[in-house]
């Protein structure tokens, strides 16, 4: 998403009203679930496994395990130096590893930046496991992961942490601390912008681009070394390490893993002086493949640009389809008023998904087995327009975004609003096949939303709704108050009122806060809780509960609830459900 003149980064709308009766989840000095061990042996292990451990993409009998080994002083991330070495790995049903169920070795070296990624098979469905890696007589920290339920099973519920947009330079990752402190999640879903490409001062804390923490390298990442070093830096964050070690992650990318507002053949933040764009993207994808616990068609062959969109099933309760809305998309139009020479937002020859991925999405939505069709959606699909706004209010919103036309056109052509033919095809598929319980879970715009996705915006609510969308806030990336430099609930209140007035299908907005969400699915409803942090510049900032919205099965409607997940009994225990 491109920012208006004078603002270095994306125009964001960040979630915010703190709601009634906030409940403190974690505060200054609170311990995370997995603090760094202090023994001499543990410190020696951290010398070799300083980037933590991670797991991801849980299947009923398989799960990915990941780490990075530092065998010696010259084997720095991105250096291309160091020896080829063998790392051991173990999987156990007990944290003390007295019952090891799988073990093996993995050979790594500078060709893959000394990363280790393996797909462990032969596991039991719906089971918690512990894992660790070994090198030169030391072990990594212990990670914990969980397999998905068996096909055909009926789990009581599935509970997921939801995060997006974590900019190192914009603050501390308290949202990850909040996730790591929980014991009720089955997995964490990250919806993109896990890392940011900018150099020092390029995009930081607030409108003056102050860096709370400085990126490494200090310049914008372009080379393979740059992308590797940046991934390595992010994985030194202790709160991120704790969250990775606590739960398996299900991840997709958005644009900043390569460059801002990227599309199939270029990006807004790529210049000719930075070389060929497709080569740059290939380097970014390779580093991503090396450093992230995701399946990209192959875990033994690191291939540039392997397919990232994929689906994971959780018994009959849910199927999660993770989308890639950058690699195959057409170039964004300059505005909603673009002429036909640019294609226009409704041009059927323009696409956000690409032909093959759109077919993949339609097949996911048509799955008759899964109750909830959850779409991991990097950019927002809900239509957002500003029709019939009073001139004064439109001017106030436009002062922030710089993108609002005078009629009822969408304001953000980087999301599905800029590719309406694809959205129309998805909604027609849902309507024609009488599909229920399509739930889009989205990141990208640094704000919290709960919305119904209407078949026809102009006739809502009479025309019916095809899906529901829940959008999480950013972990740290700038929101509306950060960009404008105005206090919370001032400028944001004006923008919220404007959007809600023009879009009655949108039920909740929060333009002020950063944090994470928790999504819980069961046979009766899908509920999202939003949690918000205090000051991003404070590593120990408190985390508080904010709001909860749900959609009941087979309704495609959104309603607020005053019963958050942490007050719903024991169904969220770590051994229960999925």
Q: What is the pLDDT of residue 342?
A: 62
79-118 burial, b at 16+ Cβ within 10 Å, e below that, comes to eeebeebebebbbbeeeebeeeebeeebebbeebbbbbbb
First CA to last CA distance, the chain: 35
User: pTM (2 decimals)?
Assistant: 0.90
Q: Considering only CA atoms, which of 57, 95, 34 is closest in space to residue 243?
A: 34
For residues 63 and 126, is the Cβ–Cβ distance under 8 A?
A: no
Q: What is the mean pLDDT of residues 338-354?
A: 81
Say whether pLDDT at 486 is over 90: no
pLDDT number for residue 576: 46
More confident call, 131 vs 413? 131
pLDDT over 60 at 341, yes or no: no
Mean pLDDT of 216-229: 98
pLDDT at 403 over 50: no
Looking at every residue in the chain, the average pLDDT score rounds to: 87
Q: Which of 197, 219, 216, 224 is nearest to 111 (CA)?
A: 224
Got the DSSP string for 184-251? Answer: --SEEEE-S-SS----TTSS-BTTTTB-SS--SSSSPP-SHHHHHHHHHHHTT-HHHHHHHHHS-EEE
* Maximum separation of any 2 CA atoms in the chain, in Å: 70
Residues near 65 by beta carbon (within 8 Å), at least 6 away in sequence: 53, 54, 55, 89, 91, 116, 117, 118, 120, 131, 133, 143, 145, 293
pLDDT of residue 219: 97
Average pLDDT over residues 405-425: 80
The boundaries of every CATH 3.60.21.70 domain in the chain are 24-33+154-567
> Would you say residue 387 has pLDDT above 50?
yes
How much is the average pLDDT of 502-509? Answer: 94
pLDDT in tens, 52-100: 999 999 999 999 999 999 999 999 999 999 999 999 999 999 999 999 9
Domain spanning 59-147 has what CATH number?
Answer: 2.60.40.380
25-34, 246-255, 314-323: the lowest-pLDDT one: 25-34
- pLDDT of amino acid 21: 30
Is residue 3's pLDDT more than 80? Answer: no
Domain with CATH 2.60.40.380 in the chain: 59-147
Q: What share of the chain is helix, strand, coil (3-state, %, to 5)?
A: 20, 25, 55
Q: Residue 250 pairs with which residues in a beta bridge?
A: 189
Convert the pLDDT of each residue in 18-36 to its tens digit: 233 323 333 333 333 334 4
> CB count, 10 Å around CB of 43?
12
Q: Are 248 and 146 in contact (CB under 8 A)?
A: yes
pLDDT confidence band for 42 (50 / 70 / 90): low
Contact by Cβ (8 Å): 400, 484:
yes
pLDDT tens-digit profile of 275-310?
Answer: 999 999 999 999 999 999 999 864 444 444 468 999
Q: Is the pLDDT of residue 394 over 60?
A: no
Distant-in-sequence, close-in-space partners of 302: CB < 8 Å, separation ≥ 6? 112, 286, 289, 290
Angle at 270 between CA 266 and CA 276, to 5 degrees: 65
Q: Which of 384-398, 405-419, 478-492 has the highest mean pLDDT?
A: 478-492
The pair of structure tokens assigned to 467 is 């899906």
- Residue 550 token pair: 């749900």
- Give the model's pLDDT for residue 304: 43
Question: CATH classification of 24-33+154-567, choosing from 3.30.360.10, 3.60.21.70, 3.90.79.10, 3.30.1330.10?
Answer: 3.60.21.70
């Amino acid at each position: 998403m491109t920012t208006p003149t004078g603002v270095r980064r994306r125009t964001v709308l960040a979630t915010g009203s703190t709601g009634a009766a906030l409940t403190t989840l974690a505060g200054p000095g609170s311990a995370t679930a997995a603090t760094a061990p202090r023994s001499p042996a543990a410190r020696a292990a951290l010398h070799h496994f300083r980037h933590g451990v991670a797991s991801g993409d849980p299947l009923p009998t398989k799960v990915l395990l990941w780490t990075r080994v530092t065998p010696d002083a010259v084997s720095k991330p991105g250096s291309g130096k160091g020896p080829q070495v063998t790392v051991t790995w173990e999987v156990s049903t007990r944290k003390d590893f007295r019952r090891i169920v799988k073990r093996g070795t993995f050979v790594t070296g500078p060709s893959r930046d000394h990363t280790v990624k393996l797909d462990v098979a032969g596991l039991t469905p719906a089971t918690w496991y512990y894992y660790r890696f070994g090198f030169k007589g030391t072990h990594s920290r212990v990670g914990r992961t969980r397999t998905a339920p068996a096909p055909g099973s009926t789990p009581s519920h599935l509970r997921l942490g939801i995060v997006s947009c974590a900019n190192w330079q914009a603050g501390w990752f308290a949202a990850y601390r909040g996730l790591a402190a929980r014991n009720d999640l089955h997995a964490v879903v990250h919806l993109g912008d896990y890392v940011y490409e900018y150099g020092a001062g390029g995009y930081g804390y607030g409108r003056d681009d102050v860096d709370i923490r400085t990126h490494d390298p200090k310049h914008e990442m372009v080379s393979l070394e740059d992308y590797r070093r940046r991934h390595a830096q992010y994985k030194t964050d202790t709160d991120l390490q704790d969250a990775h070690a606590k739960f398996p992650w299900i991840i997709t990318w958005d644009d900043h893993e390569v460059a801002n507002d990227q599309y199939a053949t270029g990006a807004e933040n790529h210049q000719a002086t930075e070389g060929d764009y497709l080569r740059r993207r290939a380097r970014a994808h390779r580093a991503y493949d090396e450093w992230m616990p995701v399946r990209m068609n192959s875990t033994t062959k690191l291939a540039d640009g392997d397919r990232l969109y994929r689906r994971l099933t959780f018994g009959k309760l849910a199927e999660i389809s993770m989308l890639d809305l950058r690699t195959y998309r057409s170039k964004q139009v300059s505005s909603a008023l673009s002429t036909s020479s640019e294609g226009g937002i409704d041009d059927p020859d323009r696409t956000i998904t690409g032909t093959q991925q759109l077919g993949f999405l339609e097949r996911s939505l048509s799955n008759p087995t899964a109750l909830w069709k959850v779409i991991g959606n990097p950019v927002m699909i809900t239509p957002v327009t500003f029709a019939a706004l009073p001139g004064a209010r439109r001017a106030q919103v436009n002062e922030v975004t710089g993108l609002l036309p005078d009629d009822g056109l969408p304001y953000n052509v980087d999301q599905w609003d800029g590719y309406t033919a694809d959205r129309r095809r998805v909604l027609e598929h849902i309507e024609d096949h009488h599909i229920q319980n399509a739930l889009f879970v989205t990141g990208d715009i640094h704000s919290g939303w709960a919305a119904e996705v209407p078949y026809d915006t102009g006739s809502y609510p009479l025309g019916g709704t095809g899906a529901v969308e829940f959008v999480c806030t950013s972990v740290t990336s700038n929101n509306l108050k950060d960009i404008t430099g105005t206090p919370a609930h001032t400028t944001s209140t004006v923008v919220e009122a404007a959007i809600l007035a023009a879009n009655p299908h949108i039920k909740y907005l929060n333009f002020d806060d950063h944090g994470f969400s928790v999504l819980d699915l069961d046979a009766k409803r899908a509920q999202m809780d939003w949690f918000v942090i205090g000051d991003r510049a404070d590593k120990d900032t408190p985390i508080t509960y904010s709001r909860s919205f749900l959609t009941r099965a087979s309704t495609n409607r959104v309603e607020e609830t005053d019963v958050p997940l942490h007050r719903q009994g024991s169904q969220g225990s770590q051994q229960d459900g999925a």
